[in-house]
Amino acid sequence: MMFRKTVLFIFLMCTTAFANTAEIQNSGENRYKAIRLSPEIYNNANSDLSDLRIENANGENIPYFIHSGYRTNHREAGHYPMSLINAYVLDDNFYFDYKLSEPLDRDVTATSVLFTTNDSTFAKNIDVYGSYDNTHWEFVQRDQIYRVSDKARLEIIFNTTQKFTHYRFRLNNNLERISFSSVDLLYNLETTQMHYFIETLTPEFFTEEENNFTYVFIEGLRNLRLSEIILETDSMFQRTFEIPSLGIRKELYSLSFSDTIYKDTSISFNRSINRDGTLKLIIHNGDDRPINITGITARYYADELIFEGIGETYTLRFGADANVRAPIYDITRYKDEILRSTIDRLDIRKITLEEIPQELEPEPYDFKMIFNIVIIAVTILLGLLIFLKLRKNSGV
């Protein structure tokens, strides 16, 4: 009996938890390599990816950084000369009216106006007006131009982009009688756009019907930063869809009238992280029949691990410790320079589960059974004492 209990205790102490590995096949001749994380890695790693480790063939950790996307800068510029069409003085204010020197067949968009003058040592408040017909004028803004010693400010940056074809400039108290040798509209706009790595997944799902609701359970989305869920169906419908865990509610439809199809069967997300293994989608059917869902497509934001690959084989390890701290490597300090270089994209050959021993707490004792045993033992002992005492008193 004691031997059986000992074996059971050892079994409980040696039950296993799973740590995951992914084999990386090195290729290419460039110094730096990149691997893109797959849904299976996200599903089994920590939600913040703190447990990811890249090891070489000698079991040494290889520094890396996480690359989630890239930025592109786009600059547009335009230069539009203007011609003076009128200048006059009214109530001590000097007015200068300008129009585009060459009319264009498109809107002229301006972000600023640049003045050129031969005058020096002045500072003037200037009111800017705009017009499309040289008759009706709209106030644009008040600003200041000046040239003092070696400092000058002869460009007025508009608060908002302007599209007027005529401009009027009013100078207050122009005692110096400054004038402009040229006035030009300028357009300078630089935009930055972020591009993310978006991958597509066809997840497994199943449905349940209850009380005029269809519950759709989508599996394999744990820890994914979702971009979009798309339902594939051959049904005609207009229903309310809800994802309670993410606070999302939207009306989807698939309708056809006069050979024209009106369709919106996608739910967009704002990089929402699904922390559960299964995402529950609720469809409000009302009194209608449930729709027929033939498939589901999920789109998610992916990450890449960038590292210096000078060996032949590497292993990605993850999932062993939920409380592990994310590593901090020096490579993150010069990642911008690395990303400007040519990087080899590597593939993950396979993902496996490796069993590692993990000590678990033994099952708690059954104190109720122990209490019953003690009570029975005490009862027997008391009965024996009473029997012996009665036997002694009777002189037997």
Sheet holding 16-25, edge to edge: 53-55, 313-318, 16-25, 344-357, 32-36, 304-308, 64-67
* Distinct helix (H) and strand (E) counts, the chain: 4, 25
- 79 plus 188 within the same structural domain: yes
Tokens found for residue 116: 């050129």
- 92 plus 53 within the same structural domain: no
Please count the residues of the chain. 396
Whether 34 maps to a domain, the answer reads yes
pLDDT score, position 11: 39
Pairing of strands 248-257, 237-243: antiparallel
Whether 371 maps to a domain, the answer reads no
Q: Residues 49, 301: contact at Cβ < 8 Å?
A: no
Tokens found for residue 383: 């009965």
Closest C-alpha among 110, 102, 113, 119 to residue 180? 119
Whether 48 maps to a domain, the answer reads yes
Last residue of a domain, one of 257, 284, 301: 301
Q: How far is CA 200 from CA 39, 224, 246, in A?
A: 10, 11, 20
Q: Residues 314, 21: contact at Cβ < 8 Å?
A: no
pLDDT score, position 261: 84
Q: Vertex 181, ends 179 and 185: CA angle to 5°?
A: 105
Tokens found for residue 114: 């640049």
Last residue of a domain, one of 167, 193, 219: 193
341 contacts: CB under 8 Å, gap ≥ 6 = 30, 31, 32
- 78 plus 54 within the same structural domain: no
Residue 136 CB-half CA count within 13 A: 2
Give bridge partners of residue 257 from the DSSP assignment. 260
369 contacts: CB under 8 Å, gap ≥ 6 = none
Residue 388 three-state SS: helix
**Could you tell me the end-to-end alpha-carbon distance of the chain, in angstroms, rounded to an integer?**
41
Tokens found for residue 75: 């600059």
The neighbour count for residue 22, using CB atoms within 10 Å, is: 22
Longest dimension (CA), the chain: 144
- 288 plus 325 within the same structural domain: no
Whether 382 maps to a domain, the answer reads no
Whether 381 maps to a domain, the answer reads no
**Measured between alpha carbons, how far is 305 from 319 in angstroms, rounded to an integer?**
16
- 142 plus 244 within the same structural domain: no
Q: pTM for this structure?
A: 0.64
Tally the domains of the chain.
Answer: 3
Range of the domain at 161: 74-193
- 161 plus 206 within the same structural domain: no
**Measured between alpha carbons, how far is 184 from 115 in angstroms, rounded to an integer?**
7
Last residue of a domain, one of 128, 161, 193: 193
pLDDT score, position 364: 56
pLDDT score, position 287: 92
Whether 278 maps to a domain, the answer reads yes
Q: Which residues of 162-181 are buried (b: 16+ CB within 10 A; e: fewer)?
A: bebbbbbbbbeebeeebebe
Whether 44 maps to a domain, the answer reads yes
- 170 plus 261 within the same structural domain: no
- 312 plus 221 within the same structural domain: no
- 86 plus 146 within the same structural domain: yes
The neighbour count for residue 317, using CB atoms within 10 Å, is: 18
- 46 plus 151 within the same structural domain: no
**Measured between alpha carbons, how far is 151 from 205 in angstroms, rounded to an integer?**
69
Whether 396 maps to a domain, the answer reads no
Average pLDDT for runs of 10 along the chain of length 396:
40 49 91 94 91 92 92 86 93 92 86 93 93 95 91 94 95 85 93 86 95 94 93 93 91 87 89 84 94 95 93 86 88 93 91 62 60 75 71 61
For position 288, which CATH number holds?
Answer: 2.60.120.260
- 266 plus 186 within the same structural domain: no
- 257 plus 181 within the same structural domain: no
Residue 57 three-state SS: coil
